[in-house]
């Protein structure tokens, strides 16, 4: 199962989230002309992109994609990105979340991103190409990080099958692998953020999160499309590696 990621990320600690919403209220709806050979689903996707205020705001501010605002909004609410931190971004392509992390941890911080898809390097970060599920990927990330991480974020998503139960199991499987890595690299007090599906996490995964972190919350940032089943788990206050086996 390839660990791929939908969307991207980027940003500065600004009023970007509000700007995206504000610009949406003034936008005129653009209609996409029917093109020969284009599927109706492709036409709907293109029309949605043309009329999405987050897409317009991302282009204006130089973010790799609209998904940048998801991390901005999550961090504005939960405040887990701070100056000087070490951050790992799993499923980093096209690089928007890495951009956000770089901007928020500053020059004294360290941000390492990895994705199975090729993407242009992010200034100020270590951008790595690789399948996170490969045996050597955790060690490659640890070496690039050069020390323990303060935050591990994952926007990874498995390719969808159209069968909700299967897709749910796939995304939970990715979260479990990302969590296992986070438990190995996080400092005490660290934070783990990952994409899951609405309905929250599986009981076993949720129990593991609660056992290892002081606080576990779920949130759907405004930038996440209403029709999307995605939501995010924010686990903060890592208790330390001895909790993993307890």
Of the candidates 111, 109, 103, the one whose C-alpha atom is nearest the C-alpha of residue 87 is 111
* DSSP string covering 161-211: -S-HHHHHHHHHHHHHHHHHHHHHHEEEEEEEEEEEETT---HHHHHHHHH
**Rg of the Cα atoms in the chain:** 18
Active site residue 195: yes
CA distance 230 to 234: 13
Is residue 45 a known part of a binding site? no
Is 155 flagged in the annotation as binding?
A: yes
- Listed residue (96, 158, 97) closest to 133, CA to CA: 158
Instruction: State how far the Cα of 156 lies from the Cα of 172, in Å rounded to an integer.
Output: 10
89 annotated binding-site participant: no
115 is in an annotated binding site: yes
Among 5, 9, 70, 195, which one carries the catalytic annotation?
195
* Residue 33 burial (C-beta neighbours within 10 Å; 0-12, 13-18, 19+): exposed
SS3 percent helix, strand, coil of the chain, rounded to 5, is: 40, 20, 40
Residue spans of alpha helices (H) in the chain: 16-26, 40-50, 53-61, 68-78, 96-105, 137-145, 164-185, 203-212
Instruction: List the binding residues.
Output: 95, 97, 115, 131, 155
Instruction: List the binding residues for S-adenosyl-L-methionine.
Output: 95, 97, 115, 131, 155
Q: Which residues are catalytic?
A: 195
């Amino acid at each position: 199962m390839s660990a791929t990621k939908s969307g991207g990320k980027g940003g500065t600690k600004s009023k970007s989230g509000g700007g995206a919403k504000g610009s949406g209220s003034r936008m005129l709806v653009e209609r996409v002309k029917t093109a020969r050979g284009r599927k109706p689903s492709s036409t709907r996707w293109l029309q949605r992109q043309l009329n999405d205020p987050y897409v317009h705001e991302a282009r204006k501010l130089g973010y790799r994609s609209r998904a940048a605002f998801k991390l901005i909004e999550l961090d504005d609410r939960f405040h887990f990105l701070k100056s000087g931190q070490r951050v790992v971004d799993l499923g980093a392509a096209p690089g928007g979340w890495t951009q956000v992390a770089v901007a928020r941890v500053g020059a004294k911080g360290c941000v390492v991103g990895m994705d199975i898809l090729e993407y242009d390097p992010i200034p100020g970060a270590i951008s790595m190409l690789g399948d996170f599920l490969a045996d050597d990927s955790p060690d490659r990330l640890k070496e690039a990080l050069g020390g323990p991480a303060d935050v591990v974020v994952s926007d990874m998503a498995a390719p969808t099958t159209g069968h909700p139960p299967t897709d749910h199991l796939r995304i939970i499987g990715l979260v479990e692998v990302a969590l296992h890595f986070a438990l190995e690299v996080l400092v005490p007090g660290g934070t783990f953020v990952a994409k899951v599906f609405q309905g929250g996490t599986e009981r076993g995964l949720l129990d593991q999160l609660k056992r290892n972190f002081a606080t576990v919350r779920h949130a759907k940032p405004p930038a996440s499309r209403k029709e999307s089943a995605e939501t995010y788990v924010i686990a903060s206050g890592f208790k330390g590696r001895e909790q993993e086996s307890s």
